[in-house]
Amino acid sequence: IYEAAAQAGGRCRSYEDARLGCRIDNGNHLLLSGNTATRRYLNATGAGNALIGPARASFPFLDVRTGRRWSFRPGAGKIPWWIFDKRRRVPGAPAWRYLSALRLFFAGPESTVRETVGNSGVLFERLWEPLAVAALNTSANTGAARLLWPVLRDTFARGEAGCRPLVARDGLSEAFVEPALRMLRENGAGVRFKTRLQAIGYRDGRARELRFGDETTALKEDDSVVLAVPPAAAAALVPGLTVPEQSNPIVNVHFLLSRPADLAPELPFLGLIGGTAQWLFVRGHIASVTVSAGSDLVHETAEVLAERTWHDVATALELDPKVLPGYRVVKEKRATIAQTPSQVRRRPATACGYRNLFLAGDWIDTGLPATIESAIRSGESAARNVCAGGPLKA
């Protein structure tokens, strides 16, 4: 493995923050029990117990404008009888409104989430918009509707057993990075950091050499390459490759609290409606908020971002909004591709036209949004192609 950065994990890792004096994740990730590829990956690396969540699906929310709290609690079974129970569904949204989910199945390649499910009523504000922004890192106004159906199909459509929320118990690196590195090394894999791939040499329809600055690695006839780099880097390395050209940012703000926050251990997160922050995650003394699709915020100063999001955190945790604690702002300016219809069309397949070169990453066309689940599925697809000795037929 050749890694350009000084550490593994990319946008999904933990690190020691000097300013806060503790270990934090560089971002927040909420997974679901229906993310089967993610669970296979964790089990394979020996980290099957690295995620925690409730025994039954529940998604707590707070409207920071009014202080109203509720929980969205899908029921068991594939037939969603639970939508007729007002204690389980989004408050203020009648049961028949949920039928708009079926429109996602028929969404065309140019349809946006807003056009497909409609934007009237509280269901859009309290369910469809938060779901679209969280899954697509793109607003419901411009996000590709056809990407949301696979999310529903693989999770909520399976009943509550498929949509139980999961978060990393100790940290992203402890769950996704360190166990994988340990397994690779135990099985004889070499891992080199600070080694950026600058070019690939091609001949006769195959990748023949990897060029790392002053060093060149020749590829044998039975060697294969899995290229897991950002879209722009892939386009520079693979001739003629079409990739998404636009990206969206994510802003995360981590606050160091004077005491552990009072959220249930099995539900250490809270959806936020009507504020700046969209999700609040709590681990010990650290309260972290996420603003996805944050193009209008990413250029603000860290101080402004901390002050604006602290108001939401203080409201949620019943703390003094005037006492700003220590904080760290993390801006991922190109967190994911912009998952609009025009950009989704530019996602390439795993096989890219060379017999021994395959692509991986959350931006590859897996049929899913650019998420951890998509990234892992793309890796599985690349591995299957490698093991087959060449590109598999679609």
User: Quick one: pLDDT at residue 157?
Assistant: 92
What's the pLDDT score for residue 389?
84
Which parts of the chain register pLDDT below 70?
393-394
Q: Which residues pair with 166 in a beta bridge?
A: 31
- Domains of the chain from N-terminus onward: 59-163 (no CATH), 196-245+340-386 (3.50.50.60), 247-337 (3.90.660.10)
Torsion 154-97-135-66 (CA) sign: negative
According to the model, what pLDDT value does residue 77 have? 86
Instruction: Give the HSE-up count for residue 56: Cα atoms under 13 Å, Cβ half-sphere.
Output: 8
Q: What is the pTM of this model?
A: 0.95
> Encoding tokens for residue 374?
């998509």
Predicted pLDDT of residue 267 = 84
- The confidence score (pLDDT) of residue 394 equals 58
The answer to whether the CB of 260 falls within 8 A of the CB of 285 is: yes
C-alpha 51/C-alpha 367 separation (Å) is 24
Residue 207, strand partner residues = 202
CA 27, distance to chain mean position in Å, is 9
Dihedral sign for Cα atoms in the order 237, 242, 243, 245: positive
SS3 assignment, position 112:
strand
Q: What is the pLDDT at residue 391?
A: 82
Residue 121 confidence (pLDDT)? 83
Residue 76's closest CA among 40, 134, 30, 33? 33
Q: At what angle do helices 178-186 and 36-44 cross, to 10 degrees?
A: 50
For 70, what's the count of Cα atoms within 13 Å in the CB-facing half-sphere?
17
